[in-house]
Amino acid sequence: MHDLTHPITSGMQTYPGDPSVTCTPALRIATDGVSVGHWGLGSHTGTHVDAPAHVIEGGRTLAEVALHELCGEAIVLRVEVGEGSPYGLAELEAAVRLPARLSPIVVIDTGWASYFGTDRALLHPYLDGSAAAELLRRGMHVLAVDTHSPDPTHLESELPVHRTVLGADGLIVENLTGLAALSPRARVGFFPLRFGGDGAPARAVAFAE
């Protein structure tokens, strides 16, 4: 199995405006006989899954998302675009021609995971909203990216990709890493913590062929 997950650590980078991450000891073996940690974090920390309820009033929460929706065959699309640049179907098809019918899970590898934790991570390329709509039309149900967001990462963004994908009752996975190890077709699984809200950190894996 290939781990596609960023580790959760105290003080790690989060989306601008999201809660900071703290990981501190609550109990210690020396004084309490056991070791227990205390975590403080937002629901969209690190590698995580967005449920429709994240941006859609009355949308499904993670409690209503079945695990099978987040597991299965994925098409892995690699794009080479510059800092803060949009990409669409033309860029997605530069490496491989998109089939008329897509796998339910579409994974986009921009290479930007290597900047996670740095200022440049927030200047990642982003998907064009009309391209997201076309991916949905071709059968996508889960959009998974290696960036903080498939939209531009700043508080002024209108989140067109989020509203398109989550508005269609789809799901979004953000902040994947290790995608270079995947073939153009891969079996993946995204396993969010069972918080049942608008989103949750997840363990993301690809299954060896």
CA distance readout (Å), 207 to 75, 179, 198: 14, 12, 27
Nearest alpha-carbon partner for 16 in 44, 52, 40: 44
119: its two tokens: 């200022």
- Looking at residue 95, its pLDDT comes to 76
Q: Which residue has the tokens 């629901």?
A: 43
Q: How far is CA 177 from the centre of its chain?
A: 10
What is the residue range of 126's domain? 2-207
| pTM of the complete model | 0.97
CATH code: domain of residue 64:
3.50.30.50
Provide the domain count of the chain.
1
Identify the pLDDT of residue 157: 79
* Model pLDDT, residue 208: 83
**Block means of pLDDT (10 residues each) for the chain, length 209 residues?**
97 96 98 98 98 97 96 96 95 89 97 97 97 98 98 87 98 98 96 95 93
Give the separation between CA 36 and CA 24, rounded to whole angstroms. Answer: 9
The SS3 of residue 12 is coil
